[in-house]
Structure 1
Amino acid sequence: MSSSPLSPSAPGRLPLLRPPDPHGHAKVSFVELFFDLVFVFAVTQLSHTLIGHFSLAGVLQTGFLMLAVWWVWIFTSWVTNWLDPERLPVRLCLFAIMLAGLLMSAALPQAFGERALMFAGSFAAIQVGRTLFFLWAVRGAERPMVRNFQRIGAWLSATAVLWIAGALHEPLRVPLWLAALAIEYVGPSAGFFVPGLGRSTTSDWNVSGGHLAERCALFVIIALGESLLVTGATFAAEPLTPIGVLAFLVSFAGSLVMWWLYFDTTNDFASGRIARSDDPGRLARLAYTYLHLPIVAGIIVNAAADEFVLAHPSGHTDLRTAVCLLGGVGLYAIGVGLFKRAVVGRWPWSHGLAALLLAAAGPFVHDWPAVATSAFACAVLAALAAWERASRAACLVPDSAAGETEPSIGP
């Protein structure tokens, strides 16, 4: 792995950087897990917003807000990859972000309405404040480290103006916020280029790959937990009927299969790949910063589908239920496939086939009971997970570089 001033093992490590880890996998601390609790609430808010405002405008707004929530979380995870959460100043910074994140999450259902300033102000304060804290934490460090976050600070300060301006001017809110979020998402791919400061390269972002992989896996767990919460809460509120029990069991099975596909066929292999990569920053930027988005989005959309199915399990599958069931599971399958493509280097065609099967069922599911549509989507995902598991077991090959075996995922 290439050396970088950001590496915990770099000579002259600053006091607030993580200490060297002999296993090359920085530990996920309890304070990071505590920090994630705010985003449990955020994911709950997003799924409930989607359920309560399922229209074209509501879906687009919820998708936009999900992108914003993910961006706050993943940026913070990058920073705690380098800074030591066991140090008091870093903990205090995380607690401040938690408070702002709680305000941001509380504002989500009315983010485009009366709580626009609360949402945008909290979001901008987190993005800019966290960057300023990092610059303070690494003061006196080697120039590349400081330059990286000076560039990030310039980009996020510019978008903060757009966020606040959009909150204050309702007629311009949507275009200004779209511009702000687009700029932030383009930033990492553009190396946060700033005239006079140049651009960052992925070799500058030397991360603990295992730590970042574990953090993203924990966010997937958060999203799956919300799916189970929706299933349990909706089932508890509905009359106890045989078909209701069946719908509950199918929804629960769907969450299990989502867990199976990600954690049993993908996560461990991907974690090993990034931990041994010569350029972990490139893989972390693509596979974890960008490509986990459709994975998390698919789970949130499927949670909304579980609510719709459990509320009306025996009726015909209406449009919103079909879109959330087939679209959510399809988005998840595509997301995991893209993630595998990033870490393996080739597209697993089985994921594309699963998405096509789900799409092909779209014109027919209106005549099916909602529970049957849910069972079909669950069966497609279960078949995909079983196929990938069998393929993984059949493709174990020696990895001379790692001195161990690792699978070549996908058929």
Structure 2
Amino acid sequence: MSNVLRRMHARGRGEAHRAATPLELFFDLCFVVAVAQAGRQLVHALAEGHPGHGIPGYLMMFFAVWWAWMNFSWFSSAYDTDDVPYRVVTLVQMAGVLVLAAGVPRAFDRGDFTVVWFGYLVMRLAMVAQWLRAALSAEGEERRTALRYAGGVALCQVGWLGLLLLPSHAKPWVFLVMAVCEMSVPVFAEHRQQTGWHPHHIAERYGLFTIIVLGETVSAATVAVQSAVDEHGALGLLLPIAGGGLLLIFAAYWIYFAVPIHLHLASNRQAFLWGYGHYLVFGSAAAIGAGIEVAIEEAAGKAHIATFAASAAVTVPAALFMLTVWLIHSRHQKRGFLQQSVLPVSSLLVLACTFAGHQAVLLAGLVAAVTIAVGVTLTARAASREAAA
């Protein structure tokens, strides 16, 4: 009967062998749909030559997806009881994710956030219920922290009504203000006492979501290549893009998982900056796949943009990924000027590849591959010096 209903006590930070659960993995898979929807809308906007609409729209939709995932992931790291009520409420949250994903095209194309807001409402009611349940089982400052979370999440959901009630020109500003308010809730809620999130567990959760985003990128690029080959057979232009894109994706995986970041996550001071910074990591990783689709459509003559713009759709997010991973993730484990400079320099070189015409993606992929080789070599030399000392 213990698995039917348990008291929702905080998990211990020093808990051994803490790993992601099957329920958490199932939860993450629901976000594949939402990420794919946001990426697909970005492709359409960029291919039609509307970056001024596509990029802000993508940033807003991806924030909605990312923040919904963040809310659950950090809560589950601190309070996962894996009993019946916890599982049922989590499944309700997953239903909300799917509703949100269904509303992404309408929000992106028409500025109609009704379906997205309702999906968020479903998720938020479940999230508030989880925090209230945690408060019932806690005492003192831990209870007040849970109540602050419940209240903050509920108030922010009310604030998002501005997307439904205010005119179109005000919606980007509403989104910006509410995004700041959302990210302020954890800072406010935990200013007296930290929740019991687990460093190794949360690092694993972020790593798994990185894999999911990169997997979606591979899928999007594969479909784009298949479509172009079926319709045009322009293998001479498509194969370099496909090869360079694949090298970029493989390099993104290697770069992210090169260091054990959980050793850096000692307190909220490190965790907030690292966790929030992943908005750019995840968003740029997903945008690489969208950019590959755009580059393929341009090479096949289906996109209404210049080759330079199509190349930039790949190189800019790839460079942003490299730089952001170094800034919030990799640099904490790098030693010496040479190791620290590899990713920043490589990000600049990837950007420079934008001017290489139809070979831009292939050259960017080769730069990424060389980056891995240089990084591995420098790490091996540093390890040899330490062993000799």
Q: TM-score range by the shorter chain?
A: 0.7 to 0.9
Aligned to 2:72: 76
User: Separation in 2 of the partners of 1:237 and 1:231?
Assistant: 10
CA deviation digits over 1:298-321, x for unaligned, max 9? 212211121122234478962431
User: Separation in 2 of the partners of 1:48 and 1:179?
Assistant: 26
Out of 252, 270, 289, the residue aligned to residue 283 of structure 1 is 270
- TM-score, normalised via structure 1 length: 0.81
Aligned to 1:213: 203
| 1:126-137 to 2 correspondences below 5 Å | 126-137=123-134
1:154 aligns with 2:151: yes
User: Separation in 2 of the partners of 1:137 and 1:205?
Assistant: 11
Percentage of matched positions with identical amino acids: 21
The residue identity in structure 1 corresponding to 2:246 is F
Aligned to 1:261: 255
User: Separation in 2 of the partners of 1:29 and 1:247?
Assistant: 37
Out of 315, 326, 335, the residue aligned to residue 326 of structure 1 is 315
The residue identity in structure 2 corresponding to 1:165 is G
* Structure 1 gaps, min length 5: 1-13, 194-198, 400-404, 406-411
- TM-score, normalised via structure 2 length: 0.85
Higher helix proportion (structure 1 or 2): 2
1:116 aligns with 2:113: yes
Aligned to 1:107: 103
Question: Is the CA contact (8 Å cut-off) linking 1:298 and 1:332 kept in structure 2?
Answer: yes
Distance 1:16 1:158, change over 3 A: closer
RMSD between aligned residues: 2.8
1:36 aligns with 2:34: no
Distance 1:359 1:294, change over 3 A: same
Aligned to 1:3: none
Aligned residues: 366
* Structure 2 gaps, min length 5: 1-5
**CA offset at residue 356 of structure 1?**
2.0
The residue identity in structure 1 corresponding to 2:30 is V
User: Separation in 1 of the partners of 2:285 and 2:137?
Assistant: 43
Question: Is the CA contact (8 Å cut-off) linking 2:99 and 2:116 kept in structure 1?
Answer: yes
**CA offset at residue 87 of structure 1?**
1.2
Aligned to 1:297: 283
Distance 1:140 1:34, change over 3 A: closer
Question: Is the CA contact (8 Å cut-off) linking 1:121 and 1:163 kept in structure 2?
Answer: no
CA deviation digits over 1:157-176, x for unaligned, max 9? 33222211321333443322
| 1:8-407 to 2 correspondences below 5 Å | 15-17=7-9, 24-54=16-46, 55=50, 56-84=52-80, 86-111=82-107, 113=110, 115-171=112-168, 172-188=170-186, 191-192=187-188, 200-201=191-192, 204-239=194-229, 240-243=233-236, 244-263=238-257, 265-266=258-259, 269-274=260-265, 277=266, 279=267, 281-287=268-274, 289-313=275-299, 318-340=307-329, 343-344=332-333, 348-362=340-354, 364-365=355-356, 368-369=357-358, 372-396=359-383
Question: Is the CA contact (8 Å cut-off) linking 1:24 and 1:208 kept in structure 2?
Answer: no
User: Separation in 1 of the partners of 2:88 and 2:385?
Assistant: 45
Question: Is the CA contact (8 Å cut-off) linking 2:225 and 2:296 kept in structure 1?
Answer: yes
